[in-house]
Structures are given as C-alpha cells and as structure tokens.
A and B are shown apart, each in its own frame.
Chain A
Amino acid sequence: DGGITQSPKYLFRKEGQNVTLSCEQNLNHDAMYWYRQDPGQGLRLIYYSQIVNDFQKGDIAEGYSVSREKKESFPLTVTSAQKNPTAFYLCASSIGRQDTTIFGQGTRLTVV
C-alpha cells in the first residue's frame, strides 16, 4: 500500500542530544513537509521541500535541520538548539494538487 511511514512512533531523548526522525513515502510525491503539533494547537510548519536537494524553512525552523537527498526520504533532525522539542511531529507529502496531500502517523518525541 502507498503511504508515508514515520519512524519511530515514540522517541525519547536526553537533553543536549540530537535526534533524527525518519520519514519515507512511496507515493512518488514531489513535495514533502514537516509539521510540529503541540497539545490543543494546530500544525506549525517546520521545513518543506518541493524537489530533491532543495528545501525551505517554515515558520518554526530554528533548532531543526533537514535533508532531501532522495525523493522518497525527508529526515528531520531535532538539534540540541531546539529549546522545547517535546511534541508530536508529522511528516506530509503532496503531488502539488490539494486532494493528494497525505500525512504520516506521526512521531511523539519526549525529552527526558
């Protein structure tokens, strides 16, 4: 089945450590996105990529980094510079048309 796979589902990190969240899609979508969701809040865009080897900052990019070396993969690194990293992270992809935007099932990151 086509879709977006995020792993792991739950992730625990010690303060001061970097951690990488995986996002893989087999939908042949060109665009991919990372969102952060905090309790009771909507989705805030972290980074997005329209094509391979290119990406742009979203609204809350500070403390995060991404790469887009392959069309199907868009990993997100949460660095130690992110002051409040505990959140639910969602990866999404689209082919460009509105009705084909798909979200992954999310990764819940907790800093301990």
Chain B
Amino acid sequence: QKEVEQDPGPLSVPEGAIVSLNCTYSNSAFQYFMWYRQYSRKGPELLMYTYSSGNKEDGRFTAQVDKSSKYISLFIRDSQPSDSATYLCAMSARINAGKSTFGDGTTLTVKP
C-alpha cells in the first residue's frame, strides 16, 4: 500500500467551476503538506504548502489539512483554462522537500 494516495482523475470541469483535489496518507509522522502544479513536459512548481492541520488561502487556491483523518485537499475557485495541469500532492516528516513522498498526480482540464 502506498503511503500517499491521490485521487487519480483525470478531472474535466467548465471554466468558473470549483475544483477539489484530494490526497490521503498513512504515515502519521507527516507534518508538512505541499501541492505542486506541473504543466505538460515541465518541472513541477510549488503552489502551496501547509504545516500541520488547518487551512491556507492564496488567491483562488485554498489548501486544507485534516491530520485526524489523514486527508488533504486543494480547492481552486473560479477555475481558468490556465489551471489545466497535473497537480501533485506531497508530504514530509521534515521541512526538507527533497525527502517528500509524492502522490501520483491528478490531471485537471478546465474547458472554456
């Protein structure tokens, strides 16, 4: 069983929709939770990170962490065609991203 499971997708939504991307994990030692966005044939870019449980908002993006349920989510409001990409969740037990464990990614398509 993988330590991190990500909703596989693919996900296709109309422009303006609210998108929910989700991951579950089994390692209770994870404390740092990240979301990366990866466009086709490009390297991932760090979108958001949170420490421990709670919410973090950045513009149209909100990251939620529920450590009691071992569940994290990324919400995208007013989705745009430019949000079309693969989203990877990642988590670590240290503040060092190099030792993170990644989900397999969810590919999102936002249709105009």
B partners with A: yes
Give the interface of A toward B (CB within 8 A): 4, 6, 31-33, 40-45, 48, 90, 92, 94, 96-99, 101-106, 108
Known interface pairs A90-B43, A98-B34. Does A33 touch B98 (Cβ–Cβ under 8 Å)? yes
Residues from chain B with Cβ under 8 Å of A99 in the complex: 46, 49
CB distance from B38 to the nearest CB of A (A): 9
Question: Could you give, for residues 77-105 of chain B, a 1 whenever the CB lies within 8 Å of some chain A CB and a 0 otherwise?
Answer: 00000000000101000011111001111
Chain A at the B interface: SS class: strand
Most chain-B CB neighbours within 10 Å: which of A31, A97, A103?
A103
Chain A proximity mask over B33-68: 1 for CB below 8 Å, otherwise 0: 010100001111110010000000000000000000
Q: How far is the CA of A89 from the CA of B104 in the complex (A)?
A: 15
The reply to whether the CB of B32 lies closer than 8 angstroms to some CB of chain A is yes
- Interface of B toward A, CB cutoff 8 Å: 4, 6, 32, 34, 36, 41-46, 49, 88, 90, 95-99, 102-105
Other-chain contact of A94, B44, B90, B98 (Cβ < 8 Å) = B98
Bound CA span A6–B41, Å: 13
Q: Is the CB of A101 within 8 A of B97?
A: yes
Contact status A43-B102, CB under 8 Å: yes
A31 to B95, CA, bound (A): 12
Chain A residues, Cβ within 8 Å of B95: 96-98
Say whether A98 contacts B42, CB under 8 Å: no
Q: Which residues of A contact B96 (CB under 8 A)?
A: 31, 94, 96, 98
Chain A nearest CB: distance from B106 CB in Å? 10
A106 touches B42 (CB 8 A): yes
Inter-chain contact A42/B99, CB cutoff 8 Å: no
Residue among B42, B44, B88, B90 facing the most chain A CB atoms (10 A cut-off): B44
- Which listed residue, B4, B98, B103, touches A92 by the CB 8 Å rule? B98
| CB closest residue in chain B, given A48 | B98
Question: A48 to chain B: which residues have CB within 8 Å?
Answer: 98-99
Distance (whole angstroms) from the CB of B42 to the closest CB of chain A: 6
Which residues of chain B are within 8 angstroms of A42 by Cβ–Cβ distance? Answer: 4, 6, 88, 90, 102-105
